[in-house]
Amino acid sequence: MAVTPEKTKYPGVTYIEVVRPTGGTERSYYVTYREASTGKLKNVSVGRQFRDAMTPARAAAIRGELIEGKRMTKKDMRTEEAARPTIERLWQFYADANKHKSSIQIDRYRVKHFESLFSRTPQEISTAEVDALRKRL
């Protein structure tokens, strides 16, 4: 059964009624806009009424930011985050490429000292932090 979006008084802003996990329903707001770089018409979710405290006015403001290129969609943010070269991802790439090495177990033991830096990119790590880690080791 297809759900038909309901229009709001704001252009390009629609909503559908969705079932909440705790029971009852809430509105899930969507905005439609034309992407400036490609000219493609996009329809993206911007949030839910209660979970995200979304209103038609806030959705319209988000639509304006999307049109102007001042905001990224949630999907674009997830894609960008997935491409971010964190220490953890670099380590995983190394471990996968060198799983045949006999010394990989030693490397796995050694990398535990760096776990506090795993969520960061190499550019985000300061010289002082590297010096502190070196002294601790």
- Break the chain into its structural domains and give their ranges: 6-81, 84-136
Distance of CA 98 to the CA centre of its chain: 29
Residues in the chain: 137
Quick: pLDDT tens for 25-75. Answer: 999 999 999 887 788 899 999 999 999 999 999 999 999 998 888 888 878
**Number of neighbouring beta carbons within 10 Å of residue 71:** 15
**How much is the average pLDDT of 11-29?**
92
Written as six digits, the tokens of 137 are: 């080791």
**2 falls in which pLDDT band (50, 70, 90)?**
low
- Decide if pLDDT at 16 tops 60: yes
Q: How far apart are CA 64 and CA 58, in angstroms?
A: 10
- Predicted structure pTM score: 0.61
**126 falls in which pLDDT band (50, 70, 90)?**
confident
